[in-house]
Copies of this chain bind each other. A is one copy, B any other.
Amino acid sequence: MGSTYGKIFKIATFGESHGVGIGVVIEGCPAGVNFDSDFIQSELTRRKPGQSRITTQRKEADEFEVLSGVFEGKTTGTPIAMVIRNEDQRSKDYSHIAAQFRPSHADYTYQVKYGVRDYRGGGRSSARETAARVAAGALAKLMLAELGVSIQAYVSQVGTMKLEKSYQELDLSETENNAVRCPDPTMAQQMFDYIDGIRKQGDSIGGVVNCVVKGTPAGWGEPVFDKLHAELGKAMLSINAVKGFEYGSGFDGVLLPGSQHNDAFYTDETGNVHTRTNHSGGIQGGISNGEDIYFRTAFKPVATIMQDQESVDQFGNVAIVQGKGRHDPCVVPRAVPIVEAMTALVLADFYLRNRSAKL
């Protein structure tokens, strides 16, 4: 009951880590959007495993097939189904954990909730499910691009290593030039080495992904519950391993008095209203105000590590979960396109919802 997202631009994802495949049905995408298959594939490639030695060595081409909703290169307004078949299933790797509850995974909670679970690679709870989001998000990005909206995420922190510069001080076009997806090349190299060290220890580490959206017109977002930042927060928190979300001034906004935190309005030379500062993060009253939208998403260390861990099995007996197989020592580099995809899905939906604001 929770595998759909969106009110108008709406997606339904499906699939398990080691089943036949994963995929998504997108309903509510307007007719007439250019369906650029190469772009969608390139987004999936940004997310796929095995990109460098600091990501999992699982091998998946992550090639998608379109089943419906596209005709002569354009969306037709009917549902668009995309499927990505699983290749590197290696189910045997998981037989030893069939009855075990891996610490800080979803094994235990799925078992209690459903009474049954596909234990192979985490089944539905695997981060593999996010490939379907990236495919759908890529289409949302294509639609948003036609509206002048661009989304750029990047890694700003790995463990204790934190980029202190704001996004304005960075050259975000550098992001894709390194395996960590940190736009500061020096920091990127340090992060890479740090993650590689973690990997060698068979351990894992978390991080923070920042995201900046430019070009959103004022008016997107729906008060009072579906505030733009509330949906962005939900969308980010729905990504595996996410523990926190903040936008604009965020948790640090607590520290400032209102007289410093308030963003003064002014009219620029072209007659457009802007704010002098942007503690609001581009959103006021839950509605975009035309300034840059920016937010930060915190990822915990992934639960799969190459070390033995104490746990229990389905019968309540003590069990030692052994560290074998493949793992991502740090998930944030691959999380960058996922953050962007979810952001695109949120914005695409609000763009369409906003069409009904006025008569």
Contact = CB atoms under 8 A, between A and B. Distances in A.
A22 interface: yes
Interface in A202-259: 203-208, 218-219, 221-227, 229-231, 233-238, 243-251, 253-259
B224 A129 contact: yes
Interface in A277-298: 279-281, 284-290, 298
A292 to B, nearest CB: 15
Which 8 pairs from chain A and chain B are nearest by CB? A106-B285, A2-B222, A2-B226, A244-B246, A204-B258, A109-B287, A258-B301, A234-B234
Secondary structure at the A interface, as helix, strand, loop or mixed, is mixed
B254 A13 contact: no
A190 to B, nearest CB: 16
Contacts of A286: 2, 106, 109, 238
A67 interface: yes
Interface string A133-165: 000000000010010000000000111100000
Contact of A288 (B10, B109, B231, B352): B109
A333 interface: no
Interface in A312-350: 312, 316-318
B205 A257 contact: yes
Interface string A63-102: 0011111011010111111010000000000000000010
The residue among A27, A113, A273 with the most chain B CB atoms within 10 A of its own CB is A113
Given A5-B225, A71-B116, A233-B245, 19 more contacts: A1-B27, A3-B79, A15-B67, A16-B71, A20-B66, A106-B223, A109-B285, A110-B285, A113-B221, A113-B287, A201-B257, A203-B259, A230-B234, A230-B237, A233-B237, A245-B246, A253-B298, A258-B303, A355-B356
